[in-house]
Amino acid sequence: MPIYEYQCKLCLHQEDKLQKLSDAPLTQCPQCHQPSFERLVSAAGFQLKGSGWYVTDFKDKPKTSEIKPTSPPSSSTEAKTAPVTTSTSTTD
Protein backbone atom coordinates (compact mmCIF):
# COMPACT_ATOMS: atom_id res chain seq x y z
CA MET A 1 0.00 0.00 0.00
CA PRO A 2 1.40 3.39 -0.92
CA ILE A 3 1.88 6.30 1.46
CA TYR A 4 0.28 9.51 0.24
CA GLU A 5 1.14 13.04 1.36
CA TYR A 6 -1.74 15.45 1.98
CA GLN A 7 -1.76 19.17 2.70
CA CYS A 8 -4.56 21.54 3.61
CA LYS A 9 -4.84 24.61 1.38
CA LEU A 10 -6.20 26.75 4.21
CA CYS A 11 -4.25 25.90 7.38
CA LEU A 12 -1.26 24.25 5.61
CA HIS A 13 -1.51 21.18 7.85
CA GLN A 14 0.50 18.35 6.28
CA GLU A 15 -0.01 14.64 6.92
CA ASP A 16 1.04 11.25 5.47
CA LYS A 17 -1.61 8.54 5.04
CA LEU A 18 -1.24 4.86 4.19
CA GLN A 19 -4.02 4.03 1.71
CA LYS A 20 -4.97 1.42 -0.83
CA LEU A 21 -4.79 2.36 -4.49
CA SER A 22 -8.54 1.87 -4.72
CA ASP A 23 -9.31 4.21 -1.76
CA ALA A 24 -10.79 7.60 -2.56
CA PRO A 25 -8.56 10.61 -1.84
CA LEU A 26 -9.14 12.38 1.47
CA THR A 27 -10.78 15.80 1.22
CA GLN A 28 -11.47 16.96 4.79
CA CYS A 29 -8.57 18.37 6.80
CA PRO A 30 -8.27 16.63 10.21
CA GLN A 31 -7.10 19.87 11.86
CA CYS A 32 -9.41 22.63 10.57
CA HIS A 33 -12.20 20.27 9.33
CA GLN A 34 -12.56 22.13 6.02
CA PRO A 35 -12.86 20.35 2.66
CA SER A 36 -9.51 21.69 1.47
CA PHE A 37 -7.25 18.65 1.94
CA GLU A 38 -5.32 17.79 -1.25
CA ARG A 39 -2.99 14.98 -2.17
CA LEU A 40 0.53 16.17 -2.98
CA VAL A 41 2.77 14.84 -5.73
CA SER A 42 5.87 13.38 -4.14
CA ALA A 43 8.87 11.31 -5.17
CA ALA A 44 8.64 7.54 -5.23
CA GLY A 45 10.33 5.52 -2.48
CA PHE A 46 12.58 3.63 -4.90
CA GLN A 47 14.65 4.30 -7.99
CA LEU A 48 15.15 2.06 -10.98
CA LYS A 49 18.73 1.68 -12.13
CA GLY A 50 20.23 -0.39 -14.90
CA SER A 51 18.49 -3.48 -16.17
CA GLY A 52 15.96 -4.17 -13.44
CA TRP A 53 18.02 -3.43 -10.31
CA TYR A 54 16.63 -1.20 -7.62
CA VAL A 55 19.09 1.17 -5.99
CA THR A 56 17.84 0.00 -2.60
CA ASP A 57 18.30 -3.73 -3.39
CA PHE A 58 21.26 -5.76 -2.24
CA LYS A 59 23.30 -7.01 -5.13
CA ASP A 60 24.00 -10.73 -5.28
CA LYS A 61 27.40 -11.73 -3.99
CA PRO A 62 28.83 -15.11 -4.94
CA LYS A 63 28.17 -17.74 -2.32
CA THR A 64 31.16 -19.48 -0.79
CA SER A 65 30.02 -22.82 -2.21
CA GLU A 66 30.01 -21.35 -5.73
CA ILE A 67 33.57 -20.08 -5.54
CA LYS A 68 35.95 -22.58 -7.10
CA PRO A 69 39.60 -22.64 -6.03
CA THR A 70 42.01 -21.56 -8.72
CA SER A 71 44.89 -23.98 -8.34
CA PRO A 72 47.21 -24.86 -11.22
CA PRO A 73 46.44 -28.19 -12.84
CA SER A 74 48.60 -31.06 -11.64
CA SER A 75 50.48 -33.37 -13.99
CA SER A 76 48.21 -36.32 -13.14
CA THR A 77 45.08 -34.48 -14.28
CA GLU A 78 46.54 -33.10 -17.49
CA ALA A 79 45.28 -34.70 -20.62
CA LYS A 80 47.97 -36.84 -22.16
CA THR A 81 47.97 -37.13 -25.89
CA ALA A 82 49.48 -40.12 -27.63
CA PRO A 83 50.63 -39.89 -31.22
CA VAL A 84 48.06 -41.23 -33.60
CA THR A 85 49.37 -43.86 -36.00
CA THR A 86 47.54 -45.08 -39.00
CA SER A 87 48.37 -48.23 -40.84
CA THR A 88 47.79 -48.50 -44.52
CA SER A 89 47.66 -51.78 -46.25
CA THR A 90 47.33 -52.35 -49.90
CA THR A 91 46.07 -55.54 -51.36
CA ASP A 92 46.34 -56.15 -55.07
DSSP-assigned states of every residue in the chain: --EEEEEETTT--EEEEE--TTSPPP-S-TTT--S-EEEPP---S--EETTTEETTSPPP---TTTPPP-PPPPTTTSPP-PPP--------
CATH code at position 6: 2.20.28
14 occurs within a structural domain: yes
Tell me which of 77 and 11 has the higher pLDDT: 11
Burial degree of 7 (CB within 10 A; 0-12, 13-18, 19+): middle
**pLDDT category of residue 24 using cuts at 50, 70 and 90:** very high
Q: Does residue 37 register a pLDDT over 70? A: yes
* pLDDT attached to residue 58: 62
71 occurs within a structural domain: no
**pLDDT category of residue 21 using cuts at 50, 70 and 90:** confident
19 occurs within a structural domain: yes
Its domain, for residue 3, covers 1-42
Number of domains in the chain: 1
Computed over every residue of the chain, the mean pLDDT equals 75
